[in-house]
């Protein structure tokens, strides 16, 4: 399950970005064509976050659909696979969305120090 390694990388990024802070929510966009299972990543993240600032965080995983552009006719359309045909019949497609995995945002709790 490579999602555990991905979860560990996400947690490392969160830890680097939020030193000493309590992480409330981490929003991650998962491209439908990225090869990452949303369900497996959702399962792996709490294990990877144990003992970190993100241990009690909510992980909001958002799937981003795939999109391609036809190199023949220029049509931009949704795709569910890296391979396929445009409505014009051309197999010459450029994938323009859906292959990425992006940590979109990290929400932290403001710590108020009493003097």
What is the residue extent of each domain of the chain? 3-65+98-109
The predicted pLDDT at position 115 comes to: 64
Supply the pLDDT for residue 20.
85
Q: What is the pLDDT of residue 110?
A: 74
* pTM, 2 dp: 0.84
Categorize the per-residue pLDDT at 114 as very low, low, confident or very high, splitting at 50, 70 and 90. Answer: low
pLDDT at position 112, please?
64
User: Average of pLDDT values for 44-50?
Assistant: 96
Angstrom distances, CA of residue 48 to CA of 23, 45, 70, 101, 102: 14, 5, 40, 17, 17
Fold of 3-65+98-109: hypothetical protein PF0899 fold (3.30.2320)
Average pLDDT, the chain: 93
């Amino acid at each position: 399950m490579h999602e555990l390694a991905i979860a560990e990388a996400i947690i490392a990024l969160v830890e680097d970005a939020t030193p000493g802070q309590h992480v409330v929510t981490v929003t991650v966009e998962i491209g439908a064509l990225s090869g990452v299972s949303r369900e497996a990543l959702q399962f792996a993240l709490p294990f990877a976050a144990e003992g970190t600032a993100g241990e009690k965080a909510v992980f909001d995983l958002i799937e981003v659909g795939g999109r391609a552009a036809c190199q023949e006719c220029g049509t931009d359309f949704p795709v569910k696979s890296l391979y396929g045909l445009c409505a014009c019949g051309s197999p010459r497609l450029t994938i323009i969305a859906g292959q990425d995995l992006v940590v979109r945002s990290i929400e932290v709790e403001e710590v108020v120090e009493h003097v």
